[in-house]
Amino acid sequence: MCQYCSECRVFCLARQYGLLDLETLTPENQGMDIEVSPHQASNFFSSSGRRKLNAEDVYPAEEMFYELMKVQNVRVKEENPGPAEQRAVEKWKDIDAATRCLQLCVISNMLKVECCFNGAHSMDEVGLGAYGLYTTLPGLDCTFPGGYEGLIKNLMSELPRDLVTYNRPVRCVHWNNTEKEENSLMIECDDEKKIAADHLIVTVPLGYLKTHHSTLFSPPLPLHKLHSVERLGFGTTNVIYVEFDSPWWDADCENIYFVWEDE
């Protein structure tokens, strides 16, 4: 496992505390071959009532979409990406109008999927500078039978008693970024208690930070940090659980996509 990313560190801690099942701990599940994306069987259904779209209608559109997204990523990083867009569009010259229309609908669906992954209403809200850096590793998703609480309890058991304090709202963070002085960082709480610190990690929600940064920090944050806070956006990802009496999709299906042809 990678020693740098937070997910790998959580995995190692969970393994150390015995929170993972035997299937998760197999060597095959801990592989890290980032050159090969794991294949996921998908079913595509259309809004016109066709039970399942043909692979020859769907896969070329998927290929086109990911190629165009890759081109856009290159365009952000390089001034002259080359005529890759033209090469992608050339593949559609000999396709009949009906098939082309269907494939455009598939591409529209894939764009919505990207919005879901990024928690955004539109890809116009997503910075493309880091697009393509995220890689899905092979193997099972690791889940803790008792939730993350088991990990937290084990971590807390290794800390001295009464080291962690709860229910103490912070009124203001007094800091000094000019010189490294003793007690240059002071956390003022609502109960007027003051806590000296060497380092502080602030994990408040972005919306709270946008609204209260002027009173939360004294002196105010540097302009470049304030500009980043102002420019950053956030979306909402909703999870809806649907239960059916019996499965109507293929046995090996991992993803179900609905292609709307009448938008």
Domain ranges of the chain: 166-231
- Residues of 153-184 as b/e, b for ≥16 C-beta within 10 angstroms? eeeeeeeeeeeeeeeeeeeebeeeeeeeeeee
Helix (H) or strand (E) holding 4: none
Mention every residue, 6+ apart, whose C-beta is less than 8 A from residue 110: 61, 62, 65, 66
d(CA 123, CA 133): 16
Helices (H) and strands (E) in the chain, counts: 7, 6
What backbone torsions phi and psi does residue 234 show, to the nearest 5 degrees?
A: -150, 145
pLDDT for residue 177 = 67
pTM: 0.63
pLDDT for residue 243 = 94
CA distances from 64 to 30, 59, 69, 125 (A): 31, 8, 9, 22
How would you classify the pairing of strands 185-189 and 194-197?
Answer: antiparallel
- Residues 72, 85 contacting (CB under 8 angstroms): no
Which residues of the chain carry a pLDDT beneath 70? 1-6, 31-40, 50-51, 71-89, 91-92, 131-132, 136-138, 177-183
pLDDT for residue 202 = 93
For the record, the structure tokens of 114 come out as 């990207």
pLDDT for residue 183 = 56
Q: For the range 32-35, what are the long-range contacts, defined as Cβ-Cβ under 8 Å and sequence gap of 24 or more?
A: 32/1, 32/2, 32/137, 32/138, 33/137, 33/138, 34/135, 34/137
Mention every residue, 6+ apart, whose C-beta is less than 8 A from residue 246: none
